[in-house]
């Protein structure tokens, strides 16, 4: 029975784009979380910059790029839910990015969602909700106006 389940999982990975592609996607999402997520709590621009740096050297559509972009979105959505200023704009930025990469790679929402632990039904619903609503206005990065920056002020 255990062997059957393991073989079934491997077959599912193969049908959804390959075991290696899935491994790269999950590893990239984990890397983004480990290296960048802590930054969003103080400065969403630093979070964005960290993620972009992780993608440096990646082609336009690779599983690694998709994993980083998807975690960029998921992390920003979580921080926006907690009221982090600027996280909504970051979430919309990474939603646009990962959707383009996802489409090019042909990875379905369920497979992509499973690359990051959590409630996939809620996360997918939030994604659909965001796609149906306009993105917030872009915020300046110069820091001149405290209310218009992504910086978290304690």
- pLDDT for residue 57: 85
Q: 56 in a domain, yes or no?
A: yes
For the chain, how big is the Rg over CA atoms in Å? 16
Q: 45 in a domain, yes or no?
A: yes
Q: 8 in a domain, yes or no?
A: no
Q: 4 in a domain, yes or no?
A: no
Query: Which DSSP state fits 54?
Result: H
Q: 28 in a domain, yes or no?
A: yes
Asked whether 35 and 54 are in contact (CB, 8 A), the reply is yes
Given 3-state DSSP classes, what are the helix, strand and coil percentages for the chain, each rounded to the nearest 5?
A: 70, 0, 30
7-39 pLDDT per residue, tens: 233 333 444 458 899 999 999 999 999 999 999
Q: 40 in a domain, yes or no?
A: yes
57-116 pLDDT per residue, tens: 888 899 999 999 999 999 999 999 988 889 999 999 999 999 999 999 999 999 999 999
**Spatial separation of the C-alpha atoms in residues 6 and 142, rounded to whole Å:** 52
Q: 5 in a domain, yes or no?
A: no
**Which residues have C-beta within 8 Å of that of residue 20, sequence separation ≥ 6?**
none
Q: 6 in a domain, yes or no?
A: no
DSSP per position, 80-138: HHTT-TTHHHHHHHHHHHHHHHHHHHT--HHHHHTTS-S-HHHHHHHHHHHHTSPPPPP
**Domain count for the chain:** 1
Q: What angle do CA 125, 73, 123 make, to 5 degrees?
A: 20
- Distance linking the first and last C-alpha atoms of the chain: 54
Q: Which domain range does residue 104 map to?
A: 17-148
Q: How confident is the model at residue 141 (pLDDT cuts 50, 70, 90)?
A: low
């Amino acid at each position: 029975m255990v062997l059957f389940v393991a073989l079934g999982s491997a077959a599912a990975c193969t049908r959804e784009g390959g075991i290696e592609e899935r491994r790269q996607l999950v590893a990239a999402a984990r890397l983004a979380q480990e290296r960048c997520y802590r930054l969003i709590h103080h400065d969403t621009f630093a979070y964005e910059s960290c993620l972009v740096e992780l993608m440096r050297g990646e082609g336009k559509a690779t599983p690694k790029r998709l994993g980083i972009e998807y975690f960029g979105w998921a992390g920003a959505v979580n921080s926006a839910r907690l009221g982090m200023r600027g996280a909504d704009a970051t979430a919309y930025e990474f939603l646009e990015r990962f959707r383009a990469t996802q489409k090019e790679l042909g990875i379905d929402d369920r497979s992509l969602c499973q690359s990051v632990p959590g409630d996939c039904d809620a996360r997918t619903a939030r994604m659909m909700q965001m796609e149906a609503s306009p993105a917030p206005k872009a915020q300046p990065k110069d820091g001149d106006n405290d209310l218009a920056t992504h910086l978290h002020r304690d």
